[in-house]
Structure 1
Amino acid sequence: MAQHTPDLPPELRPLAEMPWFKRLAARFLGHGLTQLRAQHRASWLHGQADGFRSGHTAGVDYGYKEGKADGLEEGRQVLLIRDSRNTEHRPPGIDNHLFDDWRLPLGAELKKRMKADVARLLPAHAQPSVAQWKMIFSDTPSTSVIAGAGAGKSTTLVLRILLLTHYLGFELDSMTVVTFTRESRRDFIKKLIELFALWGRALSQKDARDLVRTFHSRILPMVRSLPGFERLQAFENLSHRPQGGEEDVDSNPFDLRINDAQRQQLNACYHRLYKEDPRFAQLIQPLSRHALQLKELERDHPDVQKRVAVTELAARRDEELCDMIEDMWLRAGAWPIKGIEPSRQTFEINGASFHCHGYIPSLDAWVVLGFDPRENPQVCRPNAKLTVRAEWAVKRTLFQAFCRKPLIWLDNYESSKRLLATLAGDVSAGPGFDYKVKGELASAPLLDCFVAAAGFIENLGLDVPDAVGRMSFAKDDPDRFFFEALSLFWRALEDHLLDQKPPVMTYNRMFALFSEHSPENFKLLSDELLRPMSHLMIDEFQDVSPQIVSWIRASLSEIRSRGPSMHVGRGAQRSSLLCVGDDWQSIYGWRGSSPSYFMEFNKEFPSPRTTRVMLSDNYRSHQHIIDAAEHIVRAAPAIPGKKAKASGEERPLQPVNVLERDDQALGQRLAEHYRKGDSILMLYRKSSDKLLIEQHIQSVVNVDSSLPYESRRLKQLTYHSAKGLQADAVFLLGDCQHLTSSPYKNQVYRMAGLGKAGDSEPYDSAQKDEILRLAYVGITRAVSHCYWYVEPQDTQAVNMPRASDRVAKGKPFFVDHRPEKKTA
């Protein structure tokens, strides 16, 4: 086959494309002619073509090799001289982790040894699950454990402590286990001592108490280490009993009651500030007038509509009614009151004339005396059909709806004494009146309101005067005066408490001294004092507040900054954080707690590596109890992937019974369970409900209270107080409902960065979720039986969400016995 030769000159191509045998013959012939020195044109041309071809091929090969070599060399020279670095200036990154990048030294042999010991020393029902072992053996600097109701977290946490101390050689003084309340601390210490004994380790009460703390008992020694504060007392622990006992440094963060010793300090500060600060005294006047003034009632209120029809009749008997009530007050020694002019002014109510009893010039307000509840409720005027108490109630309603003059209605003799002290300028006894901040459910003494509002603001990690300065209220809103007065009072109170001997400080102030805003204060702490914060294990972490989070982060940051020198010669090295919680059981938002720190654990506590554990087994309740509670709470934001399953002893499935409130029926059913030998939790929402139910369960209460404490089977508690407890049968009295809107808490929530961006009412939104979580806590206290008695929908709160609205129809885990709602 002829070859294609594109590079030959045109005149040579015909020869080159001849068949090869012809070219071969021509070559032999040409060779002969060459010997004869003769020339044959065709052969010459063939030779020329072959030579061109072979020369071309050799030239191409040589040129390719030479060119490639030169190209590679030239390329190397270009790479050597080209500057391909990024010319943009970039500083090194910041390591914002709270921990070093390290691991617990947990080898396979150590794990095997501990598992064998646990199998040998603990009964079969107490053997850890796979998930619980993951928590025990977590080797990362930070660990978050999502532990639902009845998850058996306490035993697992004790085994974690055993791992650190018994198997890894960590010293007890390098660790702190934090529980939230005095009661949970006591129970955990008992379990800790019992399990340590099984491992042949005698743990004294003192050592156990040093290890297991509340946050409050850990911050107090830090502040006491500062010069001049060696004998510092916590305001929350003040009392008239001798100071210095261990209980004084271990308080319940959710106990808001103010005792006499605390009130004495509050009143003394108020007295001094009222005398020395004209602006403060000026602010108290509108507050007292507003607080004492009779609250208005809408004219379309059912009580008004019912009583307006008897206006004329009530007016005709009013003067006699005034005489009779005034006589009662005179006999009680409560009338007249200094500072009140006893002047019977006449008021027009819908064209009818009514009377008041006196006038207060300093407040420009009129006074009406009420019917003291200690008087006989059956007493009547001569020949009257209604009791004096009923007649007085009619008059009060009419005045609330139709009287627009400033009017003070004194409901009882005790309130008159407080008013007398106020009018006499005796502020040493305190303000002498109650106040109700918008959004709160009830009024309280003014200084109690100050303490509660300041506590909420500080729990969110904010400074009271600064936060107040960023609030805004309508011009005629009395809360505007309340918060300005609070700002002045709180600053004065902190100074007043520090002036005491020994000095006094609130716990919130202590946490603020060692927060992320004051890192320099940590430099004043010794290694020994800071070391117990190195390895923190915190239970009920969903109830932590921003104030506490800031203190924890600042402590861990300081420990890391001190480096290995802080742990020389010790078994425990570096630092770690293990938090156990359940965002579905976060129910203290009204005190400033937030589950967001647990839900966003990795972001809030940055760590090189984090272990996440989900404890989904419920060893307390059967599956119907679990499913009912989870169905209620699932509408609230939560950590994804949560679904508990009943484990351990199998029990008959009983649905949660939802019933319309009937206290007598509740009492009968409770007595039946008690006779069967069941343990019982009677949970209520309001203290008034407890009083109402008492008469219906009195026989059970009498029997149970006569038994030794450890044999008692009936406990009556609020929903909030029942967390951590359980009973065979649980009776829930009252719905979980968000009833009010809190303008000031919404503002403070936004300042603290809590809630969703753009939400103008972030606190109210959080509370609507919290009522669902509160119902979840109540239901999950039950082992076998749960009965939920709820009131019919209040017509005045028809738009307020209720947890019972989430009760599902047609589900096996609920039976709703309430009558069907009538539709229009």
Structure 2
Amino acid sequence: MSSSPFLQRWASRLFGEKTAPADNTPARVDEGEPAPFMLFDDWKFALTPGLRKRIKADAAQRLPEHAQPSAAQWKMIFSQAPATTVMAGAGSGKSTSLAMRLLVMHHYLGYSLDSITVITFTRESRKDFIKKMVQLFDLWEINISNGQAQGTVRTFHSRLLPQVHSLPGLADVRVFETLGAGTGNPFDLRINEAQRSLMNACYSELLNRDPDFRARIGALRLHTLRLKRLSPEHPEVKKRAVVTELAARRDEELCDLIEDHWYRAGVWPIEGIEPDRRTVSINGSPFHCHGYIAELDAWVVLGLDPAQNPQMSRPGAKLSVRAEWAVKRTLFQAFCDKPLIWLDNYDEGRRLWGALAGSSVSGPGFDYQVAGDQAGAPLLDAFFASASFIENLGLDVASAIAAMDADALGPDRLFFQALAHFWPAFNQALRQQTPPIMTYNTLFALLGEGAPQHLERLPDALIAPMTHVLVDEFQDISPQIVSWLRASLAEARRRARVAQPSQAAQTSLLCVGDDWQSIYGWRGSSTHYFLAFEQEFPASSTTRVLLSDNYRSQQMIIDAAEHLVRPVRSLPGKKASAAGVHLPPATAVQVLGRDGQHLSQRLREHHRQGHSVLILFRGVSDKSLIDNEVNEIILADGQRPIEQRQIRLMSVHSAKGLQADAVFLLGDCTYAASSPYRNEVYRLAGLAGTGQVDGYDAAQRDEVLRLAYVGITRAVGHCYWYVPPPTRREQAGVTAASARVPNDTVFFTDLRSQGDAFS
């Protein structure tokens, strides 16, 4: 896949430089078309039959019997091709095989560790692999320091940063994602106060100097804050319209009471809002507003803050104040013909005050929920998340937004028009800091396919480690990182050719992954690069390996998990077989409702038997089930020394790479929303099928099945899946993984029909 026009314009903007693809930069090809170039020269690793025999003999002597590689693992370890793709199913021993491949390259083939990079996705997986690597090298009596191991095993981001720091003017560049109290996790899209302060300052400056941006923000704020309309035909409206006159008679007294609470809370009056109580006609009767915002030409009504007593009522009234206010809100939603902002709580009032006062500390002062997102977020947080997704797919934000179908975006077009103004200004403001600051996406673009001249400036010591690259968890790679990876490999190849013009450049890439475990599409990852590996990383020869032996789970666990993902587009021929020698007796995956009694009973049984346990949750309601039913035993287990603890509690996403004797999976894996803007980004990035308008939605419908697969395949012998009953999830447009549970197989036991304790 070549750098897109979006990416080239983005890269050229970074330092105002003109860019042109280098001769060895890959060009995008559609799947099935012949590649017009080769990313790798035509060469092979010198793994002769005699050398392979010697390596196997050494392994038989130095490795215990249970750790001897299988035939498929030896195929991966002995791959001679410059490009190798390894489909490694759950529990297939891929990390051990990857470490063995590294050993063969260094010890037997003589490649310096300085010319090799092993890439893991997280810092924790990096630590695990370094430990595995050092232990394996020790068995061969190869002394390797911790520093050497850390220099060889990297995350994408830790390999990138030294390259960036070597560029002129960027020796001390800071990364936006690591500022303040940030987690340092480049995939964490939450922003902290230090990061938000920079965004707020840029926002305020842009608001003051750019009338177009100010107008768009005003329109967006009004759209966001304006009370959502209800049809007069809505059942709730019809019911409450009957009491319109009664509600109007009590309205002024109700307004006095509510306004008094806001005044005593110190939130009223609000600067920028005229505290002018005007009368408006609602369904033919007079009602009152509390104020007017001239800047937005909008009326304001104050709501009852949730902190107030829900049973509070006016003297002699039959209904509570909250109920009376609910009637008024419904009537205004159906019959108010004026732009209206309804402030439901004090916090909304404080944020609106900050926005109207132009405070650089409080920022825009309102939340926004992009269509398809699970919840709203402060505007600048929503800006950051949306821009990061676009950039993760290798696109320039402003150019991509300009190319989007405005009609497809619907009301969100105001949001993205404002983002197209804000994001370039924000990146410029970051670069003007002392020292300069950049986001990870900017840094990857700086050294990606859109800017080959920057890679050419790097010293040999920083390109040499990209000569031979081994990537773990390749199914979770994003287009942005793919661009940097291909550009780095191309530059390593170019330098090898310069150094020895008469010889083939010995560069290589080995990627290990499992498309069934790709569960990060929501942040920009895509299985495309794994499924279309030969088109995206073209070579004269490619070795394809399938690791189908599962050394973790018993067969019923495997069959149940694989049944869920059968509809998902995948590499052909995938079917795992249990290969563990000491597996427990086969038991089916039990599917239940939210049965807290069953959860508590089974958890205590496994704990008493000394089993390791993973409790995997999906949402807030799952955590409440934990708090209500099993929190006591979890807390007791947590008091033990770390090495004696049996229970781990985490999200399904956090459990990748882990295993336990028993897994308790709480909650269904569902996709209910549609994301118009992400569908547009998928189209622009070339990740949607030909003519497909819902590429991202389709990918997410597949991903929820893969997420359930990941959760179930953490189990060695026992898996219990607690999901809402079928009637709760049979909604139009909702994809639910549990809907794939059959009632006529031995590997699932569906107990939901035998009573359900759902609450």
Amino acid at match of 2:566: R
Offset, 1:121: 2.7
Counterpart of 1:143 in structure 2 is 84
Question: Which of 170, 189, 201 is residue 142 of structure 2 equivalent to?
Answer: 201
Matches within 5 A, 1:275-354: 275-297=208-230, 317-347=250-280, 354=287
Q: Which whole-Å CA distance do the structure 1 matches of 2:594 and 2:576 have between them?
A: 30
> Could you say which structure has the larger radius of gyration?
1
Counterpart of 1:696 in structure 2 is 629
Q: Which whole-Å CA distance do the structure 2 matches of 1:487 and 1:594 have between them?
A: 24
Residue 617 (str. 1) matches residue 549 (str. 2): yes
* Residue pair 2:473, 2:513 contacting (<8 A) in 1 also: yes
Q: Which whole-Å CA distance do the structure 2 matches of 1:820 and 1:695 have between them?
A: 22
Offset, 1:301: 6.3
- Alpha-carbon spacing, 1:103–1:363, altered in 2? closer, same or farther (3 Å): same
Counterpart of 2:123 in structure 1 is 182
Amino acid at match of 2:416: F
Matches within 5 A, 1:42-81: none
Counterpart of 1:585 in structure 2 is 517
Q: Which whole-Å CA distance do the structure 2 matches of 1:476 and 1:109 have between them?
A: 62
Amino acid at match of 2:691: G
Superposed CA RMSD: 2.8
Counterpart of 2:153 in structure 1 is 212
* 2:629 match: secondary structure: coil
Amino acid at match of 1:162: L
Q: Which whole-Å CA distance do the structure 2 matches of 1:151 and 1:533 have between them?
A: 27
Offset, 1:161: 1.0
Amino acid at match of 1:330: Y
Gap regions ≥5 residues in structure 2: 1-33
Q: Which whole-Å CA distance do the structure 2 matches of 1:724 and 1:740 have between them?
A: 28
Offset, 1:404: 4.8
Give CA-to-partner distance per residue, 1:213-250, whole Å, 9 cap, x none.
11111111111111111111111111269xxxxx9xxx
* Residue pair 2:583, 2:717 contacting (<8 A) in 1 also: no
* Residue pair 1:736, 1:772 contacting (<8 A) in 2 also: yes
Question: Which of 374, 378, 381 is residue 307 of structure 2 equivalent to?
Answer: 374
Counterpart of 1:78 in structure 2 is none
Counterpart of 1:815 in structure 2 is 749
Bigger RCO of structures 1 and 2 (CA < 8 A, at least 6 apart): 2
* Residue pair 1:144, 1:580 contacting (<8 A) in 2 also: yes
Q: Which moved more, 1:107-116 or 1:283-292?
A: 107-116
Counterpart of 2:107 in structure 1 is 166
Residue 598 (str. 1) matches residue 530 (str. 2): yes
Residue 503 (str. 1) matches residue 503 (str. 2): no
Offset, 1:561: 1.9
Give CA-to-partner distance per residue, 1:669-724, whole Å, 9 cap, x none.
43443344332222222245424542332212321232233433333322222211
Q: Which whole-Å CA distance do the structure 2 matches of 1:391 and 1:796 have between them?
A: 34
* Residue pair 1:622, 1:783 contacting (<8 A) in 2 also: yes
Question: Which of 693, 713, 719 is residue 780 of structure 1 equivalent to?
Answer: 713
Offset, 1:818: 2.4
Work out the percentage of aligned pairs sharing the same amino acid. 59
* Residue pair 1:564, 1:574 contacting (<8 A) in 2 also: no
Counterpart of 1:790 in structure 2 is 723
Give CA-to-partner distance per residue, 1:567-611, whole Å, 9 cap, x none.
89x9x9721100001111111111111101101111111111111
* Count of residue pairs the alignment pairs up: 719
- Alpha-carbon spacing, 1:624–1:311, altered in 2? closer, same or farther (3 Å): farther
Give CA-to-partner distance per residue, 1:627-675, whole Å, 9 cap, x none.
1111111101110000001111232121112222345653454344334
Amino acid at match of 2:744: G
Q: Which whole-Å CA distance do the structure 1 matches of 2:637 and 2:358 have between them?
A: 50
Counterpart of 2:491 in structure 1 is 558
Counterpart of 1:37 in structure 2 is none
* Residue pair 1:658, 1:790 contacting (<8 A) in 2 also: yes
Matches within 5 A, 1:620-635: 620-635=552-567
* 2:469 match: secondary structure: strand
Matches within 5 A, 1:397-408: 397-408=330-341
Question: Which of 448, 460, 463 is residue 396 of structure 2 equivalent to?
Answer: 463
Offset, 1:298: 5.6
Offset, 1:564: 5.0
Offset, 1:424: 1.6
Offset, 1:397: 4.4
Q: Which whole-Å CA distance do the structure 2 matches of 1:347 and 1:314 have between them?
A: 13
Counterpart of 1:639 in structure 2 is 571
Offset, 1:802: 1.6
Amino acid at match of 1:725: L
Give CA-to-partner distance per residue, 1:133-186, whole Å, 9 cap, x none.
111111111110000111111111111111111222221111111111122112
Matches within 5 A, 1:97-176: 97-176=38-117
Q: Which moved more, 1:189-198 or 1:141-150?
A: 189-198
Q: Which whole-Å CA distance do the structure 1 matches of 2:378 and 2:139 have between them?
A: 52
Offset, 1:194: 2.1
TM-score by length of 1: 0.82
Counterpart of 1:244 in structure 2 is none
- Alpha-carbon spacing, 1:529–1:429, altered in 2? closer, same or farther (3 Å): same
Residue 729 (str. 1) matches residue 670 (str. 2): no
- Alpha-carbon spacing, 1:428–1:280, altered in 2? closer, same or farther (3 Å): farther
Q: Which whole-Å CA distance do the structure 2 matches of 1:729 and 1:628 have between them?
A: 15
Amino acid at match of 1:124: E
TM-score by length of 2: 0.89
Give CA-to-partner distance per residue, 1:270-307, whole Å, 9 cap, x none.
11111111111111001111121223356676766776
- Alpha-carbon spacing, 1:506–1:168, altered in 2? closer, same or farther (3 Å): same
Q: Which whole-Å CA distance do the structure 2 matches of 1:270 and 1:529 have between them?
A: 37
* Residue pair 1:681, 1:726 contacting (<8 A) in 2 also: yes
* 1:715 match: secondary structure: strand
* Residue pair 2:35, 2:538 contacting (<8 A) in 1 also: no
Give CA-to-partner distance per residue, 1:2-27, whole Å, 9 cap, x none.
xxxxxxxxxxxxxxxxxxxxxxxxxx
Give CA-to-partner distance per residue, 1:303-351, whole Å, 9 cap, x none.
6677667767655654444333333222221122122223344455556
Offset, 1:527: 1.6
* Residue pair 2:120, 2:472 contacting (<8 A) in 1 also: yes
- Alpha-carbon spacing, 1:480–1:135, altered in 2? closer, same or farther (3 Å): same
Q: Which whole-Å CA distance do the structure 2 matches of 1:665 and 1:297 have between them?
A: 43
Q: Which whole-Å CA distance do the structure 1 matches of 2:752 and 2:251 have between them?
A: 44
Counterpart of 2:465 in structure 1 is 532
- Alpha-carbon spacing, 1:367–1:664, altered in 2? closer, same or farther (3 Å): farther
* 1:367 match: secondary structure: strand
Counterpart of 1:804 in structure 2 is 738
